[in-house]
């Protein structure tokens, strides 16, 4: 029952948890009657409690980890990064050994004391990755490494080739020819990011007020051309399938179902740039199984895992050795263009997040 400051965010300053427990007269309660659940204390040796997106905790991944790495995964699902942070902040660090953050949440989680660095020497598979992913600045905080991404992707443009022909630029999303048949995402980092890329702003997530205002003006001028700002990816997928929308800023995940449904759907990282994301295994602060977490992190960087993941989920592995095992047609389908990774702008938490939200609300309300 060591005192852990990071778990006490919700207590008034100066009151230790122990004192609160004594005051409530229930000091023994936690240890005895209610600890029936499978916490870390009763976990077996090779078991990792895995707090993750549902994709990485599905049956095939659990079986694969058991079979190839001899690790038992016990996944618990979250559905947004903010949810994940809130649960860890509220005491979830006691429950889980590892999480799968998106790169823009690494620094906030590290600063809040929710995650633990890993030893670079424990990840020999890093050598087999594309060089771009071996050293991703957002995965290190204060010189400590918090993860090496095993999966990555880009939010970019999906288009209906039959209607628009080939597309290579963001211009299509601002083309009056497609008035009422375009869609953007209802999320400030994505949509203001697109505006910044269109204006040629070098570091979108470090924009100042003047640039934000220009982006706002641009997006307001784009608004009459849009059919919708989509919130759920299923909505934009349906609109692309029905032909209501001919081009949209969206996720790669829409493409495969669209093609299966007979739509000639194209996918392109526009020449102005695309917005990238990456995810990695990161140890939770205070895990007693750091070594095993590192073993699993290294396993996710293996060619076997990368190939398996690409085939089952259609996400792009960061492992070059994995991509080498895939047929060229599949590589193209996955939207992997390793030569162009430098064109990606990896999403970061903007310096002034509140201001970004305000600007985005102003665009939507205009």
Partner 1 sequence: MAARRLSSTPLLGLWTALVLLFLFAPLFLVVLFSFNTSEISIFPIQGYTLEWYGRLAGNEAFRSALINSFVVAAATVVLATALGVAMATGVHRYGARWRTVLRSGAGLPMMVPHLILGIALLSFYNVLQIDLSLLTVIIGHSIVAFPYVFLIISARLVGSDPSIEEAARDLGAGTLTIFVEITLPLLAPAILAAALISFTLSFDEVVVTFFTTGTENTLPMMIWSMLRFGITPEINAIATLTIVVSCAMAGLAEIAIRRATADSTRR
Instruction: Kindly list the residues in this chain that would bind partner 1 in the complex (CB under 8 A).
Output: 1, 7, 10-11, 17, 20-21, 24, 26, 29-31, 34-39, 41, 49, 53-55, 57-59, 62, 74-80, 83, 86-87, 90-92, 94-96, 232-234, 237-238, 241-242, 251, 253-254, 257-258, 260-261
Residue 110 vs 254, nearer CB to partner 1:
254
Cα–Cα distance measured from residue 363 to residue 215, given in angstroms and rounded to the nearest whole number: 10
Residue 170 vs 254, nearer CB to partner 1:
254
Task: Output the smallest distance, CB 265 to partner 1, in A.
Answer: 11
Residue 13 vs 121, nearer CB to partner 1:
13
Helix extents (H) in the chain: 17-24, 59-64, 81-89, 106-111, 131-134, 161-164, 188-198, 209-222, 233-242, 255-260, 290-300, 303-313, 320-324, 328-333, 353-365
109-122 b/e (C-beta count within 10 Å ≥ 16 → b) = bbeebbbbbbeeee
H helix and E strand count, the chain: 15, 14
Token pair of 175, please? 């083309």
Task: Output the smallest distance, CB 112 to partner 1, in A.
Answer: 15
- From the list 26, 103, 38, the residue with the least C-alpha distance to 76 is 38
Task: Output the smallest distance, CB 235 to partner 1, in A.
Answer: 8
Helix (H, G, I), strand (E, B) or coil at 311: helix
Angle formed at CA 81 by CA 342 and CA 73, multiple of 5 degrees = 95
Residue 258 vs 297, nearer CB to partner 1:
258
Task: Output the smallest distance, CB 73 to partner 1, in A.
Answer: 10
Task: Output the smallest distance, CB 50 to partner 1, in A.
Answer: 9
Residue 39 vs 180, nearer CB to partner 1:
39
- From the list 6, 82, 99, 1, the residue with the least C-alpha distance to 48 is 99
Residue 222 vs 237, nearer CB to partner 1:
237
């Amino acid at each position: 029952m060591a005192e852990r400051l990071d778990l006490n965010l919700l207590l008034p300053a100066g009151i230790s948890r122990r004192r609160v427990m004594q005051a409530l007269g229930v000091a023994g309660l936690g240890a005895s009657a209610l600890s029936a659940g499978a916490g870390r204390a009763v976990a077996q040796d090779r078991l990792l409690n895995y707090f993750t997106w549902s994709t990485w905790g599905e049956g095939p991944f659990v079986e694969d980890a058991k079979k190839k790495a001899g690790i038992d995964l016990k996944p618990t699902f979250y559905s947004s990064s903010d949810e994940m942070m809130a649960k860890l902040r509220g005491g979830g660090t006691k429950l889980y050994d590892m999480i799968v953050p998106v790169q823009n949440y690494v620094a906030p989680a590290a600063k809040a004391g929710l995650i633990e660095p890993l030893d670079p020497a424990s990840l020999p598979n890093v050598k087999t990755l594309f060089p771009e992913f071996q050293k991703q600045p957002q995965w290190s905080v204060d010189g400590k490494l918090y993860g090496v991404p095993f999966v990555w992707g880009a939010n970019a443009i999906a288009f209906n080739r039959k209607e628009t022909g080939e597309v290579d630029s963001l211009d299509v999303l601002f083309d009056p020819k497609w008035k009422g048949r375009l869609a953007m995402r209802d999320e400030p980092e994505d949509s203001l990011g697109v505006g910044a890329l269109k204006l040629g702003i070098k570091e979108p997530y470090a924009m100042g007020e003047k640039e934000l205002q220009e982006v706002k003006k641009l997006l307001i001028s784009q608004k009459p051309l849009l059919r919708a700002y989509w919130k759920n990816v299923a909505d934009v997928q349906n609109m692309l399938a029905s032909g209501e929308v001919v081009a949209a800023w969206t996720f790669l995940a829409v493409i495969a179902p669209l093609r299966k449904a007979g739509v000639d759907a194209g996918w392109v990282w526009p020449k102005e740039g695309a917005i990238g994301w990456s995810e990695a295994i990161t140890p939770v602060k205070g895990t007693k199984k750091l070594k095993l977490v590192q073993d699993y992190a290294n396993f996710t960087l293996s060619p076997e895992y990368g190939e398996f993941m690409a085939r089952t989920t259609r996400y792009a592995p960061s492992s070059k050795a994995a991509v080498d095992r895939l047929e060229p047609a599949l590589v193209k389908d996955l939207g992997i263009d390793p030569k162009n990774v430098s064109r990606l702008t990896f999403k970061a938490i903007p310096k002034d997040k509140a201001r970004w939200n305000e600007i985005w609300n102003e665009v939507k309300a205009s």
